A and B are shown apart, each in its own frame.
Chain A
Amino acid sequence: MKGADNLYSGRRSVLKATGVIGATAGLGAIAGCLDDPEGDDDDDLDEIVITQGEIIENPDPNDHITGPYFNVLDPVYEPLFNVTPEFEFEPRVVEEWEDTDEGAELTLRDDVVFHNGDEMTAEDVAYTFNRMIDPDLGIESDQAAGLGAIDNAEALDDTTVLLEHEVAPSLAEFEYANYGRVVNQEWIEDQEQPVAGDDEEAFNGTGPYEVVEYEPDVQVVLEPFEDYWGDEATLERVVFNQDGESSGRANALETGESDIVDNIIPEDVPGVDDADGVEIREETSLRNVFLVMKSGVEPFDSTEFRQAMNYAVDNEGIISDALGGYGEAMTQPIPDGVFGHNPDLDTYEQDLEQAEELVEESGYAGEEITLYSPEGRYLNDADVAQMAADQIDQLDNVDCSFDTAPFPDISDANSAGYDDEEMPFFLIGWGVITGDSDYGLAPFFVEEAPQETLRNEEISEAILESQTIEDEDEREQQLQEINEELREEAPWVFLHSQDSVYGVREDLDWEPRTDESIYLWELDS
C-alpha cells in the first residue's frame, strides 16, 4: 500500500502542477489577451467611457429633468441651442431667434434629419414644446415647470416656429433655450407615452450620435450618426455606464475601465487623488441645499426667529466638516452664477449671542423644534442636517432635535403650503437649472405657488413683476433686490451650493460645468 500511496501522491503532484500551470496560463490569457470592450487604456480619444450614478430612467427626452439623463440623451437628442458655461445661448439647430409682439420666433436649420432618416420640420419643433407643456399630448413632462412662461408653440412655415409667451424675452429665452430636444412627431405618436422600450430602437433624435446598444439601468452605447448636419462626431464610440456606488465608480476610474465618473463622495476623493493617471475635478453646481422654515407656522412666523436660526448655523463649518470642503456657502436663495444673483450679499456669520437675542425678541424663547432631513438624496444630507440641528440646539433658549424622514415625506411637506404644520422645518435642495433666478424664486415665494414657503405679498408681487420686465438690466436689478429682501426675510436657513465632484482621466481636456452637463463635443484629449 505504501508503494501505491507513493504512486497516487506522484499522480496527485503531476495533476496539481498541471492544474496550477493551467490556471495560471488561463488567468494570464483572460487578464492579458482579452479584447475587453470596457478596457480603455488608449491615450487617444476614439472611445470614451463615462460612468454615472444613474443613466436614464426611460428613453424619452421630454419626460425628465435630471442632469445625468441629459448627459446621455443630449448627444442623441441634441439641444436646440449651444449653452455656454456662462449661460449664453449660441445657434445650433436654431440658427436665429428674436422676440416679437406674439412671442419668440425661432428660425431653424433646414438640413437636420432624424436618425430614422426623416427630415426635421418646424412642426416637429412646435410639437416638441407643446408635448412638454400640454399633458393632453401624452406625458406629464417634468420639464413643464421649467417652461412655465411658454403658452403654446406653432409652426409658422417650414423653418420658423413661434413660441407664444407674455413674459420678458430674457426669461422666455432662458426657458426655451434650455429645454428644446426635438422629437419626431410622427415617430413619437407611434410610441408608447412616454417613450419606453429596452433597446436601441427606442431612440430617434437628430444629434451627432445614435444609440447602438441600450440595456436599461446598465449601459447606453453611442456611435456617430453619419448623416448629421454638423461637424462629424469625433468619438467613434461612447459608453455610458451606470454604477450607483461612489466607490464602484472610483474603482472603475482607477483601473482605467472608465474615463470620467460623476459624484465622487468626499470619502472617496483621497483614493482618486492618490491614484496614477486620474484626478479630481470639481465645480460649484447650481443646486442649493437649505432648511425650509414655513412662515405660516409658529415659531417660524417670526422673521426674528428665522434670522436667529441663520445666525445659529455655521454653514462654512458644515461645508468643511460634512462636505469635505465641496460646497459654497449660500448668501441668498439663488446661487452664484445665476442671472439675478446679488453679489453684494454676505452669508449669515455664526453668532450665537445675536441668535439668542433674536429668539428673545421673537417671543418664542424656550421653543422646541425638530429638523427633518432626507437621507442619501443630497451629498451627506443627514450629516449636514444633524450638524445644523446640533448648532441650533446650542442656543440657550431653543431646543432643536433632529430626525430623518423618507424623501417623499419631505417632498410632500414641501408641496403642502406655507402654513402646513405637519413638518414645518426640513432640509431640501433645489437646482436652478434654467440659469435664471425666476426658477429658484417663483415656486417658493409667489402666493399659492406649488412650494410656497413664505407668504409675503410684496415679494410675491415683485417676482411676478420681474417676469414682465423686458429690459434685461432692469430685470436683473429687480431680481437682485428681491434676493436682498429675501436674505433679510430669511425664509430658509441658507446652507450651501453643492459642488459637483468628478473623477477624470488626467490627460482629458474637459472641465466640469456649473450646470452639471457633460457635452461630448466639449471633450478632447
Chain B
Amino acid sequence: MAFGKFLLKRTLQGILVVWGVVTVLFGLRAVTPGDPVNLIVDPAVDQATRERIRQELGLDQPIYVQYADYLQDLLVGDLGYSYQASRPVSTMVIERVPATLELAIAATIVALVIAIPLGVISGTRRNEPADYGATSFSLLGISTPNFWLGIMLILLLAVQLDVFPTGRRPVAFHDALWTFLTTFYVGDLLTWLHHIILPAVTLGTYFTALITRLTRSGMLDEYGKPYVTATEAKGIPETLVRYKHVLRNTMIPIITVLGLQLGTLIGGAVVTETVFSWPGLGLRLISAIHNLDWPLIQGIIIFIGVSYVIINIGVDAIYAKLNPRVLDE
C-alpha cells in the first residue's frame, strides 16, 4: 500500500472516531434529565421567558434537527456558546490548551529523564539489586493512582516541608520565556518551574514506570540478538555497544509509545489538574461537569478526542516511514 493511501485510510478512520465521539456526546446530552434552560436562567424566572429562551436556542426543535444543526456548527469550527460563562466554547477551550500541553510535555520530560536511565540500568544488570529496585519502582509507579500520589506529594513537600507550592500556575511558560528572552529576568521561569514540578511528577509517574519497563524489556530483547554478540566479539567497548546499538534500537518502540502517551496525558491530566488547581483543559472540564455546562463539556471532550486522533495518525505516519513493512500489513 502506498504511503498516501495508508495516510488517507488512517485519516478516514480518525474522522469516523471523531464522529462517534460527537454523536455519543450529543446522545448523552439529549438523555440527561433536566431542562437546559434551568442552567441558563434563575429558577425564579417565569415560564414565558423560559419558552422564549428555549425557542432562541432551538431547544424546541425535534432532536434530529438539533443534531443536524450541531454537526453543521462543528464542521465550521463552532463548538457552541457557554451561557453560564457568556463566552464562546472554542475560546474557552483554546485558552486552556497551553497549560495542559505544558503539563503533558513536562510530565513526558520527567518520565524520560528518569525512565530511560532506570530502564538501562535495570536491563543491563538483570537480577541484580539495581534491577530489583527499578522493577519494584516501576510496579509501584504503575499501581499508584495519581490522585493519591498528588495529594501525598502536596502534604509532604508543600504542607509539611514547604519546598514546593500546593499548586496553581502563576505564570504561563510562554510568558515566562518571553520575559527571559526580552529582559534576561529568570525569576518567572523559575516560578513556573517551581509550580510545575509536583504536577509533572504526579502525572508522569505512571508514564515513567511504563517507559522503565519498556526500556528494560527492550534492552533485554536486544541483548539476546546476534548482532550484539558480534559487535562485542569485535572488541567494541561495552558502553558503546549499550548506548550506540542496544539503546538506539530499543528507542524505536519507545518513541511510538511516547507519541501515543502524549495524547493520553492530555486527556488524562484531568485528575492531576484538579488536585493541583492547574488551569488546563482538565480543570475546566471538571468545572464544566460540576456546573452541567453541556456546550463546554462537549467542546472539551471533542477537542481532546480530535487531538488524540491527530496524534495517533501522526504516530502511525512516522512509524510507517520508519518501518515501511506496516504499509503491507
**Residue total for A at the interface (Cβ-Cβ under 8 A):** 57
Cβ–Cβ contact B33 & A406, under 8 A: yes
Provide the residues of chain A in CB contact with B41, threshold 8 Å. 140, 142
Provide the residues of chain A in CB contact with B170, threshold 8 Å. 36-38
Cβ–Cβ contact A412 & B38, under 8 A: yes
Q: Is A177 an interface residue (CB 8 A)?
A: no
Cβ–Cβ contact B277 & A145, under 8 A: no
Q: Is B218 an interface residue (CB 8 A)?
A: no
Provide the residues of chain A in CB contact with B301, threshold 8 Å. none
Cβ proximity bits B30-59 to A, threshold 8 Å, 1 near / 0 not:
001111101111111110010001000000
Given contacts A145-B44, A248-B167, A254-B159, are A216 and B85 in contact (CB under 8 A)?
Answer: yes
CB within 8 A of B86: which of A196, A241, A244, A409?
A196
Bound Cα distance A311, B292 (Å)? 36
Q: Is B84 an interface residue (CB 8 A)?
A: yes
Interface range, B side = 35 or more
Secondary structure call for the A interface: loop
Cβ proximity bits A1-18 to B, threshold 8 Å, 1 near / 0 not:
100100010000000000
Shortest distance between the CB of B223 and any CB in chain A (Å): 18
Cβ proximity bits B163-184 to A, threshold 8 Å, 1 near / 0 not:
1111111100000000000000
Q: Is B266 an interface residue (CB 8 A)?
A: no
Cβ–Cβ contact A198 & B95, under 8 A: yes
Given contacts A30-B193, A63-B86, are A251 and B158 in contact (CB under 8 A)?
Answer: yes
Shortest distance between the CB of A377 and any CB in chain B (Å): 10
Q: Is A257 an interface residue (CB 8 A)?
A: yes
Provide the residues of chain B in CB contact with A245, threshold 8 Å. 274-275, 277
Bound Cα distance A30, B186 (Å)? 11
CB within 8 A of B279: which of A142, A145, A218, A405?
A218
Q: Is B162 an interface residue (CB 8 A)?
A: yes
Cβ proximity bits A212-227 to B, threshold 8 Å, 1 near / 0 not:
0001111000000000
Cβ proximity bits B288-323 to A, threshold 8 Å, 1 near / 0 not:
001010000000000000000000000000000000
Cβ–Cβ contact B166 & A251, under 8 A: yes
Cβ–Cβ contact A411 & B92, under 8 A: no
Q: Is A522 an interface residue (CB 8 A)?
A: no
Cβ–Cβ contact B190 & A34, under 8 A: yes
Of chain B, the residue at the smallest CB distance from A245 is B274
Q: Is A82 an interface residue (CB 8 A)?
A: no
Shortest distance between the CB of B135 and any CB in chain A (Å): 21
Provide the residues of chain A in CB contact with B40, threshold 8 Å. 140
Q: Which residues of A from 241 to 276 have beta carbons under 8 Å from B?
A: 241-245, 247-248, 251-252, 254-255, 257
Cβ–Cβ contact A31 & B164, under 8 A: yes
Shortest distance between the CB of B276 and any CB in chain A (Å): 8
Q: Is B191 an interface residue (CB 8 A)?
A: yes
Provide the residues of chain B in CB contact with A130, threshold 8 Å. none
Cβ–Cβ contact A30 & B286, under 8 A: no
Cβ–Cβ contact B45 & A450, under 8 A: yes
> A37-B170, A196-B87, A409-B34 given. 17 additional CB < 8 A pairs?
A29-B190, A35-B187, A37-B191, A58-B86, A140-B49, A145-B45, A192-B86, A195-B86, A216-B92, A244-B277, A247-B151, A251-B155, A407-B292, A408-B35, A414-B43, A415-B43, A451-B44
